[in-house]
Amino acid sequence: MTEYLAVDGGTIAYEVAGTGPLVVLAHGLGDSRAAYRSVVPPLVAAGYRVAAVDLRGCGESSADWSDWSRTAIAGDLLALVRHLGGPAVLVGHSIAGGAATIAAAREPGLVSGLVELAPFTRKQSIRPGDLRIKRVRQGMLRLLGATVSGSTRQWRAYLDVAYPGVRPADWAGRLDRIDAMLREPGRRKAFTGMLRAAPADAGAQLGGVRAPVLVVMGTLDPDWADPHAEAAGIVAALPPGLGRVELVEGAGHYPHDQFPEQVVSLVLPFLKENAARA
């Protein structure tokens, strides 16, 4: 059942299932909380209270906002944790990985752990040799097309690269739902606003994080020539001993949707160790 939380500037949609320590799931841009549809049931079965949230401008959250930055999204996540009675482990994918980082640094008492899935948390740079890698070249060109034009066709083309090999059983329906959402009034503005929001605000907060961090990357993520190096860079910028990296072999930018069982198997031990503080 969808619930709604009024925050400064709009309304955030979310749904909660289960009982136990709180885990908040935040999806990436151009998506909705449905991205976690295969992750929620096993987390609930393992004894957690799981809140899946629609980011501002996405899903069933209100569409019209003035700020699409990771800092703004972090404020929404913290408001939800307060509302539900934290602390919580925050799980953030892509742009939400950076937002979760900011939330943890801003309010350490509300965040007991961070799971970053294919996160855009640091300032990005492209080396000339990166473009020789086919998946990176294709992904970059299609993302650029989506950023410039807001084209849903270009975004679907990017998703073709971001989900290499294995795809969910409901793949066609998932693409259609994403397409339909992006065609709703105001959703394309949210989409392009997030695409254009640089992650520098999140990178600046890495040194202030006090909660343990698990970074999960797909080995075939088209957004980085070396996904492991990107994850390792995030961990290196954290205080010593806080972060660790796990790789999902064959996954692209959506490891939790391509290989939900494997991602859950990585997340559950982390939750057992860190969500118990809640």
What tens digit of pLDDT does each residue of 45-104 get? 999 999 999 999 999 999 999 999 999 999 999 999 999 998 999 999 999 999 999 999
**Mean pLDDT over residues 16-45, rounded?**
97
Q: Report pLDDT digits (tens) over 155-211.
A: 999 999 999 999 999 999 999 999 999 999 999 899 999 989 999 999 999 999 999
CA dist., res. 153 & res. 176, Å (int): 11
Question: Quick one: CA dihedral 55, 58, 59, 63, positive or negative?
Answer: positive
Of the candidates 60, 65, 68, 64, the residue with the CA atom closest to the CA atom of residue 29: 68
Q: Report pLDDT digits (tens) over 105-160.
A: 999 999 999 999 999 999 988 787 887 888 888 888 888 888 777 778 889 999 99
Q: In degrees rounded to 5, what are phi and psi of residue 13?
A: -95, 145
> Could you tell me the domains of the chain?
3-277 (3.40.50.1820)
Q: Report pLDDT digits (tens) over 243-261.
A: 999 999 999 999 999 999 9
Q: Which helix (H) or strand (E) holds 245?
A: strand 243-248
pLDDT tier at 277, thresholds 50, 70, 90: low
pTM as predicted: 0.95
Q: Which helix (H) or strand (E) holds 134?
A: helix 134-149
